Amino acid sequence: MENGMKKNQEFTVLIEDIGVNGEGIGKADGYPLFIKDTVPGDIVQGIVTKAQSKYGYGRALKIITPSPDRVEALCPIAKRCGGCQLQEMSYERQLVYKREKVRNNLDRIGKLKGYTLHDTIGCENHYRYRNKAQFPIGKNKEGRIIAGFYAGRTHEIIECEDCVIGIEENKEILKIIIGHMEKYGIEPYDEKTHKGLVRHVLIRKGFATGEIMVSVVINGDKIMACEELAGNLVENIEGMKDISLNINKQRTNVILGDRVVTLYGDGYITDFIGEVKFRISPLSFYQVNPAQTRVLYGKALEYAGLTGEETVFDLYCGVGTISLFLARSAKKVYGVEIVPQAIEDAKVNAGINGIDNVEFFVGKAEEVIPELYENEGIQADVVVVDPPRKGCDERLLETIVRMEPERVVYVSCDSATLARDLRYLSENGFGVEEVQPADMFAQGIHVETVCLMSRKEK
């Protein structure tokens, strides 16, 4: 079949839709083109960068008529960085896009009908909401040490010390660390040669407590004049509570190593989601938008419909965030997670909150749950799942079906795998009742979703 267009051909199109990665979609004589950094309603002049038989990719050269939903990006490097794909789209339109993304996946992949899909719950803060950042450290073409983010699909560092979705303290912290490196001739890490010392800087902040953590990731065992560096950070950064070195000598793209050397503090900071307190170490998983996490978990708790008499299974429980929320309204909660360090953190978090009706297990949920259900006779009234992007293991879904809980609450960070799993459950005795999208990642393409499923009467 002959291509509708050729590479380097120019076009003018009206952007009518948005793709799953946030790119605009327009049709030139019926030929679909995916065009980055465009917004539905834009009339765009552009050039074809890649042409396939049924669709192509284009680059916008000029916005002839801007969409009413187009806004000025707050970040000067938004296009080059690629971390925030939707900064040029009004926030109201972003929320509509995320709801439609969920609906399209549930209808097309899930083949679901008869459910209630609510409007996306928006973030109170569209910027400065992210409590964690990992900045790669390198050199620019002039040989100056820089911090920033990798450009999309590359390992070229785009210089940026003040990400507008991150905390304002990032800029000053990076300035102090880079100043220390320049003073003592400390080289940034070079991926190609595996030489140089400083690889990344990890920064976290507890929004409820104001406590800040800095972890410098190094390709070695120590950094020159580390006491001076720690002293400068403590003296100049309000709320500085924990400073560490993270040792990563591997030739790898993985950012953090397993060994942490504390330079200042207790090895952790604390934060709250609602009334539940969490202890966060440099290697802990913790939600990056705690204000919106409270909203998300509040909805999960509402859908769980707990009266204080229920046994709840929380699968893929991480550091126990949802488990501890549920435990205050349930009779008993069993949390399961494959990462041993996360379960250690979960037990600590239960202890510091005085929550004793929760039990945590290390292992694959699809192996632990059959053991609890079939061998120990523990029956869940409510099952909560919060899996990674790849969704639930099918063996786990089979076990949930066999166990016949009254309700399943599914918390998802990927609506495509969510739709696939809901389809399986809906074909095996459960009905999808309510679906609530929530925006955890303002300016980005991802959307969190909470779904309520109930067991159908036989």
On the question of pLDDT at 154 being above 80, the answer is no
Whole-number pLDDT of residue 119: 98
Question: With bands split at pLDDT 50, 70 and 90, how would you rate the model's confidence at 3?
Answer: low
Q: Could you give the angle at the alpha carbon of 57 between the alpha carbons of 104 and 20, nearest 5°?
A: 20
Q: CA–CA distance from 448 to each of 35, 112, 168, 320, 413 (Å)? A: 25, 18, 25, 18, 5
Q: CA–CA distance from 207 to each of 136, 271, 291, 296 (Å)? A: 23, 7, 8, 17
Whole-number pLDDT of residue 458: 65
Cα of 377 vs its chain's centroid, Å = 35
Q: Does the pTM exceed 0.85?
A: yes
In this structure, CATH architecture of domain 132-280: Beta Barrel (2.40)
CA dihedral 315, 318, 320, 322 (to 10 degrees): -60
Cα of 437 vs its chain's centroid, Å = 14
Whole-number pLDDT of residue 128: 95
The string of pLDDT tens digits covering residues 160-219 is 989 999 999 999 999 999 999 999 999 999 999 999 999 999 999 999 999 999 999 999
Three-state SS at 407:
strand
CA distance 164 to 146: 17
The structure tokens listed for 300 are 């999960």
Question: With bands split at pLDDT 50, 70 and 90, how would you rate the model's confidence at 285?
Answer: confident
Q: Which residues are catalytic?
A: 413
The crossing angle, in degrees rounded to 10, of helices 415-426 and 91-108 is 40
Task: Tell me which of 49-53, 182-186, 438-442, 450-454 is least confident.
Answer: 49-53
The structure tokens listed for 65 are 């008529």
In the block, which residue shows the tokens 């507890």? 206
Q: Does domain 94-125+289-455 have CATH number 3.40.50.720?
A: no
Whole-number pLDDT of residue 83: 82
Phi, psi of 247 (to 5 degrees): -90, 115
Whole-number pLDDT of residue 372: 87
The crossing angle, in degrees rounded to 10, of helices 169-184 and 226-236 is 150
DSSP-derived secondary structure for 314-344: EES-TTTHHHHHHHTTSSEEEEEES-HHHHH
SS (H, E, C) 208-255: CCCCEEEEEEECCCCCCCHHHHHHHHHHHCCCEEEEEEEECCCCCCCC
Residue 298: CB atoms within 10 A of its CB come to 16
CA distance 98 to 95: 5
The string of pLDDT tens digits covering residues 390-400 is 999 898 999 89
The string of pLDDT tens digits covering residues 88-138 is 999 999 999 999 999 999 999 999 999 999 999 999 999 999 999 999 999
Q: Contact 440/446 with Cβ under 8 angstroms?
A: yes
Q: Domain ranges in the chain?
A: 10-70, 94-125+289-455, 132-280
Residue type, 253: N
Report the percentage of the chain scoring pLDDT > 90: 83
On the question of pLDDT at 2 being above 60, the answer is no
Three-state SS at 304:
helix
Highest mean pLDDT among 280-289, 323-332, 366-375, 391-400: 323-332
Question: With bands split at pLDDT 50, 70 and 90, how would you rate the model's confidence at 1?
Answer: very low
The structure tokens listed for 344 are 């250690």
In this chain, the answer to whether the domains covering 10-70 and 94-125+289-455 adopt an identical fold is no
Whole-number pLDDT of residue 369: 87
The string of pLDDT tens digits covering residues 32-80 is 999 999 999 999 999 999 999 899 999 999 999 999 999 999 998 888 8
> What does pLDDT average to over the chain?
93
10-70: CATH superfamily: Nucleic acid-binding proteins (2.40.50.140)
Helix (H) or strand (E) holding 19: none
What's the farthest any 2 CA atoms get from each other in the chain?
A: 73
